[in-house]
Chain A
């Protein structure tokens, strides 16, 4: 043997050890950010942590767009006002400011607006989602003929069905919603469909989780391969919050 395994495992209580499972961050109907704890099928939502216009979470953390700023890793960075679309990657965040139709990269607490030519390519569509894979940026844009996935330079990567209403780009998949169905389309084109009527908003809730907000329910779609399932998130009501 070229290694020696210690016989005494360590279960510490600092960063390692036993802790409360934190699934991510949701945006409730009132626009309040709430942490989501628990395991699949058993969710507890925490107290509201302030209003946000958009959120996105990954394994590395969460980014929230507030009225006129972005909160990331505890830092508040002033931004143009209004809604935004957030795309997380392993090195930072790409943000699309809807009111200005401009992309910016948030990295190490600094916001840098990207080349102006990029916005020209998206000016005739509504940007629904951003996927950042530096240096490439892909967007899901709603145009008159439907939602298409494209590079910011304008190259079309994929088309979503005409009945799709909104979409969220993940690192290796896209989630889109039709009138009554939530669809997880993998990179290989395979699709999994889940009944979820009326979904209007999609957020990256956490690593392997997508929040799908509808008029009648808030869904949590698990996207981990082999564990795909749609659950309900408890509404903000009282007992189910900790």
Chain B
């Protein structure tokens, strides 16, 4: 009996469990009494209000009906009734409003639960929205575009400033108050603080300027906010063009078999830091060899070397050094240099070095006397790939020429075969042996003449050693 009484008592108590309404802004709840002032909404603009039905009772509450009545109002987010709100818990209800007529609007939001209900009268006033126009000045801007209201500053050079004159116009028949003007986003800022509120008379206007001042080459985005309206800001910055670099070689007459140094400079300090690659290419003058793999930058062993320059410098670093050493190879032709970079240069940079055909270059030579043979060894290169004709003039130990004088030999076909095998250029080591009958130690020296299409090279008095 006692148990039944307790149950009877509890039922009406549970039926009186209350829902309390709150307006939610961020994490702040504000109690809502019979009416709630939403405030003003610009024409054509939607505004969403977040209300919270909180169960302050000790038992669950089942909402059986949720409705709003009023022109321009709608519930956009909420579960469909019936739904239950547990004790201490809550349910948010999102009410959206938009209006086109300049007027005051109201609506009744009603929540029915457990045979009772809670309701609130929502009030809102539609006001004229300020129209926004843009005027370009100098490196100005365009927009707002009809789609997303974007104001576009276009492309400007990094480090420069584009000023965009903004004109606020009140196209309505009533005075309009602009209470807030702000700009957000890196690179964008108001040229001067805008004093608000700004009261715009019908047909009146107000001006202010938004600056776009990018500091690096990238795409920027921000926002201009006027009262409740937001206008995306966008702009692209590109690097300042560098002066045309000059590529220079160290002093000296170009020839094969050299290690030369390339430097790269600007006529005036670089406005920005930049990097890229210096590219080398080789065009052979030979019909025998189309390329020469020894023509490379030594720092990389390849035909490109990285370059970099700091803002304010005039001297480029090539491979981390002030100059890049490259080999001229052993083939007549032309070595050309160009640059590749993401940076923009005022003009294209290039340089070339012509390696002329030359007589056979002898790097080293030796003459050896063996029993029955005289050996002559030559290390060198022939950048014309036409060597083979040669002559040898022997002298006795007293320095007298040995009869019959110059002995000619033609090893053109042997050289051609060697070159055609592709040994990475024209460098060669050659050994020519002369069979000797008798005492070879009586032969003291030899003159060697090596002839190619560019002329003859002579090795004078190569002394025979045992």
Interface residues of A (CB under 8 A from B): 1-13, 16-22, 37-45, 216-217, 224, 227, 231-242
The interface stretch among B129-137, B185-193, B233-241, B292-300 is: B292-300
Rounded to whole angstroms, the CA-CA distance of A34 and B430 in the bound complex is 23
Query: Which A residues touch B298, using CB under 8 A?
Result: 217, 232-235, 240
B395 to chain A, nearest CB (A): 11
Query: Which B residues touch A238, using CB under 8 A?
Result: 301-302
Residue-wise interface mask of B (255-286) relative to A, using a CB-CB cutoff of 8 A (1 in contact, 0 not): 01111000000000000000000000000000
Instruction: Kindly report which residue of chain A lies nearest to residue B260, judged by CB atoms.
Output: A41
The main secondary structure of chain A at its interface with chain B is: loop
User: Is B427 a contact of A38 with CB atoms below 8 Å?
Assistant: yes
* B310 on interface, CB distance cutoff 8 Å: no
User: Is A38 a contact of B425 with CB atoms below 8 Å?
Assistant: yes
User: Is B442 a contact of A2 with CB atoms below 8 Å?
Assistant: yes
User: Within residues 351 to 402 of chain B, which ones have a CB less than 8 A from any CB in chain A?
Assistant: 361, 363-364, 374-375, 379-381, 392, 394, 402
Which of B301, B327, B375 interacts with A42 by CB under 8 Å? B327
**Interchain Cβ contacts within 8 Å, total number:** 169
User: Is B320 a contact of A18 with CB atoms below 8 Å?
Assistant: no
User: Is A3 a contact of B303 with CB atoms below 8 Å?
Assistant: no
Which of A9, A12, A40, A44 interacts with B363 by CB under 8 Å? A40
User: Is A9 a contact of B407 with CB atoms below 8 Å?
Assistant: yes
User: Is A235 a contact of B299 with CB atoms below 8 Å?
Assistant: yes
Q: What are 5 residue pairs bridging A and B, where the CB atoms are less than 8 Å apart in the complex?
A: A9-B407, A16-B375, A19-B430, A38-B294, A235-B300
Interface residues of B (CB under 8 A from A): 256-259, 293-294, 296-303, 320-321, 325, 327-330, 361, 363-364, 374-375, 379-381, 392, 394, 402-404, 407, 409, 411, 414-415, 418, 423-425, 427-440, 442-443
Query: Which B residues touch A41, using CB under 8 A?
Result: 257-259, 327-328
Rounded to whole angstroms, the CA-CA distance of A216 and B442 in the bound complex is 51
Query: Which B residues touch A240, using CB under 8 A?
Result: 293-294, 296, 298, 301-302, 327
Which of A1, A22, A217, A234 interacts with B438 by CB under 8 Å? A1
A238 to chain B, nearest CB (A): 5
Instruction: Kindly report which residue of chain B lies nearest to residue A230, judged by CB atoms.
Output: B259
User: Is A42 a contact of B299 with CB atoms below 8 Å?
Assistant: no
B103 to chain A, nearest CB (A): 78
Rounded to whole angstroms, the CA-CA distance of A152 and B259 in the bound complex is 41
User: Is A10 a contact of B432 with CB atoms below 8 Å?
Assistant: yes
Query: Which B residues touch A9, using CB under 8 A?
Result: 392, 407, 409, 432-434
Query: Which B residues touch A42, using CB under 8 A?
Result: 256-258, 294, 327-330, 381, 425, 427
A224 to chain B, nearest CB (A): 7
User: Is B409 a contact of A11 with CB atoms below 8 Å?
Assistant: yes
Rounded to whole angstroms, the CA-CA distance of A231 and B329 in the bound complex is 14
User: Is A21 a contact of B437 with CB atoms below 8 Å?
Assistant: no
Query: Which B residues touch A4, using CB under 8 A?
Result: 436-438
Query: Which B residues touch A18, using CB under 8 A?
Result: 411, 414-415, 418, 428-430
Which of B361, B394, B428 interacts with A21 by CB under 8 Å? B428
User: Is B424 a contact of A242 with CB atoms below 8 Å?
Assistant: yes
Which of B320, B374, B380, B418 interacts with A39 by CB under 8 Å? B380
